[in-house]
Amino acid sequence: MARDFIPKIATGNDLLEGDVVYFTESGDWTRDHGDAAVAGTEEQAQALLSRASGFPQQVVGVYLAEARIVNGRPAPVHFREVFRTRGPSNYPHHGRQARA
Amino acid sequence: MYDYTDFDAAFVRNRVAEFRDQVARRLDGSLTEDEFKPLRLMNGLYLQLHAYMLRVAIPYGTLNARKMRQLAHIADTWDKGYGHFTTRQNIQFNWPKLRDVPDILDALADVGLHAIQTSGNCIRNVTADHFAGAAADEIEDPRPTAELIRQWSTDHPEFAYLPRKFKVAVTGSPNDRAVTKAHDIGLRMLRDETGAPGYEVIVGGGLGRTPMIGKVVRDFLPKADLLPYLEAILRVYNLSGRRDNKYKARIKILVHETGLEEIRDLIEAEFQRTRAELPPVDPALLSSIEAAFAPPALARRPVPDLSRADAGLRSFIDTNVMAHRDPDHAIVSVSMKPVGGTPGDATSDQMRALADIAERYSHDELRISHEQNVILPHVHRADLPAVYDALRAAGLATANIGLVSDIIACPGMDYCALATARSIPIAQQIGTTFADLDAQADIGPLKIKISGCINACGHHHVGHIGVLGLDRAGVENYQITLGGDGTETATLGERTGPGFAYDEIVPAITRLIETYLRLREDRSETFLQAYRRLGMAPFKDALYAQERRADAA
Ligand code: SF4
């Protein structure tokens, strides 16, 4: 892993439902942040973004988000990405957290 | 209640059919997201943090029971059983699915509602005083003016692609409850020395990144000249407003950079042309609009003495009930800020309860206020106990209007894709900290307004205490402003200094309020008055003294 590079994952929103999705190693989309594919270098990150952008009929607004590795799985770094994994803080039964 | 004409109804249905086709084409791949996005935004559909969001216009905040029930039906059928009332008198649904939106828009059209011009660089939903047609201090009902502007601006071909979004607010009362000075155009109804009706025209107000209080560009505009004059302002803005930088594209920047005198000359010159070009408004149309807003026939019944009512009802009357132009009647403000609740949220059951109460006790009228509350504008004073009981049964009788827990909070990072920090949990924590209504009544009138980013949808610049959520190196941070005022004496709040961490912001606000309680002359001196008398210094001390002591140690 290149020095000073913060690992990245690719994320976006599902076209039909609008909810948060993550791009996996196998080229699918998942609702589980921990299953996201991780890019460890800038080159890998650009390749990941380009692969993840190839689903315009399924996912919109694809971008790279920073991640850190916890127990071998990616975890969000920025609080915005933490909130995206959960859902709104005022309704604990809405959004992703409802399934937890 | 103003009902759509056949023309309006057909126009809205056509738009829904058009959007249905656009959604189908997006889903089958004939439209790319880049092509589709501007089309969905033209129909009020945003993609937010966790889901789509549909913003529905409530023109000048006026609803009847049938419309409110339909909003409840939409919340139950296609959303999660609730809706969010915003500072622009709209309602937002936070969880619609893309494929369902055409059906939602059809359901809205069934009751004369829509989502047109709730987004995009066009003239947005026109807002008005939420006490319109009822207020004791009113010169004239502002809603016929707002409706006329709605008709003029809807699908106006010349103003569909302005440099930026454009917001108009109208008040018919000298006491400004529509924040007219923080709009691109603010209209204040008044009468000239002969008693003829007209408007004071304010331009170039706005909050956001560069907050500005609007400037009076015309002291008196005769009523008949309204549309040519608005057309002139919009033309000047459309041609001269900056399109090179979206942060400088609002009319406030144009007014500021050009100077008031020069902009006035430009508008007046254009006005001479538009007045010659635009046919005058058909008087029959005007009188049909005015007739639709005619005051309801108010019942004559004895008014009971409620001074011995139980304490709950009395405090509700003291706090949430305002003077009606008819002394036997009252305006009831229903707080959508229960302790620990989300400002502006209503469940579908609550919407139905409000519809029932409005039908039974308020001449079938409801209003949404920019302060995210719901108004029952025409309640006979004899019905106040029954209204209070019905509201209490629906969990809607919190007696906190205008008090510390009656907070405006934008959706912030719990929903909004543009947010830099959360707003709602801060409002919830302040509400919980000051849950005791007697303590709130002791603190007195205090407007706390919270925005989750610099766009200032939570109007924090005009809060007595304003809170702006920011992102400081990946951590939520909250800046405080003091002394803002959104009324006829509009003032922008002043920044106190460095921001506060998420865990520190509510204690900081508590210190501000304690300082006010310690330093006020007596209970009659409000927080804003005390701030204006004392200045920033004692409040700044209360906020930062601990830090200074720590630095010195
Ligand atoms: S102020 Fe910012 S965070 Fe709040 S609703 Fe407006 S754009 Fe979103």
Query: Using one digit for the tens of pLDDT, what is the confidence trace for B238-292?
Result: 999 999 999 999 999 999 999 999 999 999 999 999 999 998 888 898 899 999 9
Fold held by B408-551: Sulfite Reductase Hemoprotein; domain 1 (3.30.413)
A-to-B residue pairs, Cβ atoms closer than 8 angstroms: 76
The shortest CB-CB distance from A88 to any of B96, B414, B474 is to B414
Helix axes B65-78, B348-361, angle to 10 degrees: 170
CATH of domain B123-289: 3.30.413.10
Note whether residue A70 is domain-resident: yes
Give the pLDDT confidence score for residue B2 in this predicted structure: 78
**Is residue A71 situated within a structural domain?**
yes
Q: Does the structure show a pLDDT above 90 at B545?
A: no
What per-residue confidence (pLDDT) applies to A100?
A: 62
Q: Where would I find the H helices in A1-100?
A: 42-52, 79-86
pLDDT at B8 > cutoff 90: no
pLDDT score for A3:
65
Q: Is the CB of B354 under 6 A from ligand 1?
A: no
Q: A60 and B98 in contact by Cβ < 8 A?
A: no
- Whether the complex's predicted ipTM surpasses the cut of 0.85: yes
Residue with tokens 């691109």: B184
Task: Please state the domain count of chain A.
Answer: 1
Q: What is the pLDDT of residues B176-228, one digit of tens each?
A: 999 999 999 999 999 999 999 999 999 999 999 999 999 999 999 999 999 99
CB proximity B46 to A under 8 Å: no
pLDDT digits (tens, 9 = 90+) for A42-85: 999 999 999 999 999 999 999 999 999 999 999 999 999 999 99
Q: Is the pLDDT of residue B552 over 70?
A: no
Spell B119-158 as b/e; 16+ CB within 10 A means b.
Answer: bbbbbbbbbbbbbbbbbbebebbbbbbbbbbbbbbbeeee
A98 within domain boundaries = no
If you measure CA to CA, which chain A residue comes closest to B28?
A: A57
Domain membership of residue A76 (yes or no) is yes
Residue B312's pLDDT is 96
Residue whose structure tokens are 């807003």: B293
| Residue B407: band (very low, low, confident or very high) from pLDDT cuts 50, 70, 90 | very high
Q: In the numeric block, which tokens belong to residue A4?
A: 């000073």
The verdict on residue A20 lying in a domain is yes
| Confidence check: pLDDT of A1 > 60 | no
Q: CATH classification of B315-394 is 3.30.70.3340, yes or no?
A: yes
Q: At what angle do helices B143-153 and B226-240 cross, to 10 degrees?
A: 50
Residue A38 lies in a domain: yes
In a domain, A92, yes or no: no
- Check whether domain B6-110 has CATH 3.40.250.10, yes or no: no
Residue of A57, A61, A95 lying closest to B50 (CB–CB): A95
* pLDDT at residue A99 tops 80: no
B532 touches chain A (CB under 8 A): no
pTM summary value: 0.96
**Which residues in chain B have Cβ-Cβ distances shorter than 8 Å to A60?**
33, 47
Instruction: Kindly tell me if the per-residue pLDDT of B88 is higher than 90.
Output: yes
- Chain A residues in contact with B336 by the CB 8 A cut-off are none
The verdict on residue A100 lying in a domain is: no
Residue B279: the pLDDT is 86
As a whole number, mean pLDDT of residues B344-363 equals: 98
Give B550's pLDDT tier (boundaries 50, 70, 90). Answer: low
Domain ranges of chain B: 6-110, 123-289, 315-394, 408-551
Q: If pLDDT is split at 50, 70 and 90, which confidence band does A96 have?
A: confident
Query: Which residue type does B174 have?
Result: P
Measured distance CA(B460)–CA(B26) in Å, rounded: 38
Residues β-bridged to residue B494: B482
Which is more confident, B3 or B530?
B530
Report the separation in Å between the CA atom of B417 and the middle of ligand 1, taken as the mean of its atom positions: 8
Fold agreement between B6-110 and B315-394: no
DSSP class of residue B157?
Answer: G
| Ligand 1 pocket check for B452: Cβ under 6 Å | yes
Q: Say whether pLDDT at B359 is over 70.
A: yes
pLDDT value of residue A33: 97
Residue A64 domain boundaries: 8-85
Span B59-81, pLDDT tens digits: 999 999 999 999 999 999 999 99
Q: Give the model's pLDDT for residue B5.
A: 83
- Partner residue opposite B475 with nearest CB, options A18, A56, A79: A79
For range B435-454, the mean pLDDT: 96
Chain A residues closer than 8 Å to B342 by CB: 90-91
pLDDT digits (tens, 9 = 90+) for B321-337: 999 999 999 999 999 99
Please report, rounded to a whole number, the percentage of residues in chain B having pLDDT higher than 70: 99
